[in-house]
């Protein structure tokens, strides 16, 4: 009798897990140095081949529209939620699968991968996923006008080098190939430049800094060069020099600019950074004139800070985009900001609109930004700037536009809320709950069969940390009580007239008949 596909897949997974488990339990000390190195190579090859299997699974999941059926919309978001991957890792896996994964057409026949040599080497375990990513980066930069045979040859050269070389050296080989294919840059056309354009702003690090990288088109370069020539020159826009002129540089005595330039110790890259800060501050701060509005608020920086942090001049303020900024810098920005104030009591801003209007007011949105920081669906990390205001109790069924009935939800998560079997639900937690007044989400049964209301801690790590610390204190106190009880029992056993002593006496001197 033939096994079903499910049974075969389960057997394969069990075999893989059993093999890995056996390796984990296997002692390594009996191995010779040569055997240890060989085992290291074999495990690395197996891990690389497993990546190719992951790509096939990812492609199959996507072809069956499983992400759409589960409400996660994209395969990237599905991987983040199902496998608990980071945003960057999930995106990297999807991108790699599209380049080196094997797809099938409507008839079920396999289609050759976009990078066939790279895909084959990865499936054999000859190269790592990092090799494949570096090869992909080089191949993306090859102009579209290059002949197909030259493109195939370039990928083959890169793959053959990757089999024996380090991923760090692939860009160098790639530069040589690109220089040969387009020595004077005439083959690259506007479509190639449009394809390669992009600016990447990485996630903010714990130290507050954010990495930025990318490639810009000749048009953007032509716009930036004169701006930087004026505002990134020495002596202009220096945040460490109160006498340094900013956007008003045209109205300042040239001798003052020259004096400021002599005091300017910034590097060229620091001056470029400060020029962007100077110009964007003028465009965004204040009324945000010329930039219009976004989700009912002017395009401006929204900062939320705690009173105790302001009093101590320490800590950080949070932005509507989920970033942080030191309190000292936030207060400097606030000097020119719009006079909005988030107040969380009934005597403050008009937060209660009842049934008089459906859309939340700017004051309500600002208060929600300050209180929630981002989307309220569990697991979602979308910042407040990407969120809409959602009525927990639907407005169509009588839900008021009051702050107690409003919550933030990003556009994607907002679309998941409906009354179908696959829809999400939102409820306000009762006063006797652990988080009274907070909005909890109830997942559909195919995601959470228990239908337990859950809240999002992604934007409130402090409360989650407090909960964990509280539980640890409770556990330690329980353990101490257990230890004290055990010690008391031990002491009772040691007492001369205690139960243990009487039992020993009865055993040593049995009663005479």
Give the Cα separation of 266 and 264 in Å (integer).
Answer: 6
pLDDT (0 to 100) of residue 287: 45
Question: CB pairs under 8 A, 24+ apart, for 258-262?
Answer: 259/235, 260/234, 260/235, 260/236, 261/233, 261/234, 261/235, 262/235
423 and 381 in contact (C-beta within 8 Å)?
A: no
pLDDT (0 to 100) of residue 493: 76
pLDDT (0 to 100) of residue 349: 38
Tell me the pLDDT of the chain (513 aa) as tens digits.
Answer: 444 555 555 567 788 888 888 889 989 899 998 899 999 999 999 999 999 999 999 999 988 888 888 777 789 988 988 888 888 899 899 999 999 988 877 666 778 888 999 999 999 999 999 999 999 989 988 888 888 888 888 899 999 989 988 998 888 888 888 878 877 666 667 777 787 888 888 887 878 888 988 888 878 888 888 888 888 989 998 988 988 988 888 888 888 989 999 999 999 899 999 998 888 876 665 444 566 666 666 556 677 776 667 667 777 777 766 677 777 777 766 655 554 434 333 333 334 444 445 666 677 777 787 778 889 898 787 888 888 888 888 777 777 777 778 889 988 888 888 888 888 999 988 888 878 888 899 988 877 888 889 888 777 666 556 666 666 677 788 888 888 888 888 877 776 665 555 555 555 555 444
pLDDT (0 to 100) of residue 489: 82
| Domain map (residue ranges) of the chain | 5-192, 225-284, 362-459, 463-508
- Plot region of 86 (φ>0 → left; ψ -120 to 50 → alpha; else → beta): beta
381 vs 78, 200, 376, 487, 501, CA distance in Å? 14, 18, 9, 48, 64
Place of tokens 């954010």: 210
Burial 35-67 (b: 16+ CB within 10 A, else e): eeeeeeeeeeeeebeebbebbeebbebbeeeeb
pLDDT (0 to 100) of residue 327: 78
CA-based nearest residue to 415, from 424, 407, 426, 406: 424
pLDDT (0 to 100) of residue 125: 94
490 vs 73, 476, 484, 504, CA distance in Å? 61, 21, 10, 15
pLDDT (0 to 100) of residue 311: 63
Looking at the chain, the number of H-run helices and the number of E-run strands are: 19, 13
């Amino acid at each position: 009798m033939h096994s079903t596909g499910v049974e075969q897949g389960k057997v394969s997974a069990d075999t893989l897990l059993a093999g890995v488990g056996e390796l984990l339990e296997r002692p390594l000390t009996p191995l010779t140095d040569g055997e240890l190195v060989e085992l290291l190579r074999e495990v690395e090859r197996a891990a690389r081949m497993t990546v190719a299997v992951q790509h096939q699974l990812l492609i199959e999941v996507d072809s069956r529209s499983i992400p759409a059926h589960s409400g996660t919309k994209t395969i990237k978001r599905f991987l983040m939620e199902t496998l608990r991957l980071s945003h960057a890792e999930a995106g990297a896996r999807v991108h790699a699968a599209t380049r080196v994964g094997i797809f099938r057409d409507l008839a079920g026949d396999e289609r050759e991968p976009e990078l066939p040599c790279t895909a084959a080497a990865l499936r054999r375990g000859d190269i790592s996923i990092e090799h494949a990513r570096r090869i992909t980066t080089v191949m993306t930069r090859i102009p579209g006008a290059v002949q197909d045979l030259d493109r195939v040859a370039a990928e083959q050269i890169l793959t053959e080098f990757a089999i024996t070389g380090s991923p760090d050296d692939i860009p160098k080989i790639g530069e040589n190939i690109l220089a040969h294919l387009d020595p004077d840059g005439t083959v690259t056309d506007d479509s190639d430049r449009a394809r390669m354009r992009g600016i990447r702003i990485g996630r903010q690090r714990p130290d507050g800094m954010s990495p930025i990288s990318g490639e810009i088109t000749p048009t953007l370069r032509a716009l930036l060069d004169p701006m930087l020539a004026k505002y990134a020159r020495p002596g202009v826009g220096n945040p460490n020099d109160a006498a340094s002129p900013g956007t008003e540089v045209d109205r300042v005595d040239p001798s003052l600019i020259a004096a400021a330039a002599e005091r300017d110790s910034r590097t060229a890259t620091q001056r470029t950074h400060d020029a962007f800060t100077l110009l964007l501050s003028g465009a965004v701060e204040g009324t945000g004139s010329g930039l219009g509005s976004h989700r009912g608020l002017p395009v401006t920086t929204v900062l939320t800070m705690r009173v105790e942090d302001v009093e101590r001049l320490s800590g950080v303020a949070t932005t509507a985009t989920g970033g942080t900024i030191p309190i000292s810098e936030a207060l400097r920005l606030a000097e020119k900001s719009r006079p909005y104030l988030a107040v969380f009591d009934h005597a403050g801003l008009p937060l209660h609109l009842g049934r008089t209007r459906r859309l939340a007011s700017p004051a309500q949105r600002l208060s929600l930004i300050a209180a929630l920081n981002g989307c309220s669906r569990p697991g979602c990390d979308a910042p407040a700037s990407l969120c809409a205001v959602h009525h927990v109790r639907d407005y169509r069924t009588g839900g008021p536009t009051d702050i107690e009935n409003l919550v933030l939800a990003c556009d994607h998560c907002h679309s998941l809320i409906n009354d179908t079997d696959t829809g999400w639900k939102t409820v306000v937690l009762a006063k006797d709950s652990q988080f009274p007044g907070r909005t909890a989400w109830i997942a559909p049964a195919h995601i959470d069969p228990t239908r337990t209301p859950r809240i999002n801690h992604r934007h409130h790590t402090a409360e989650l940390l407090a909960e964990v610390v509280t539980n640890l204190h409770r556990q330690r106190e329980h353990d101490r009580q257990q230890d004290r009880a055990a010690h008391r029992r031990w002491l009772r056993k040691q007492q001369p007239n205690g139960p243990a002593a009487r039992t020993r006496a009865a055993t040593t001197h049995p009663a005479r008949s």
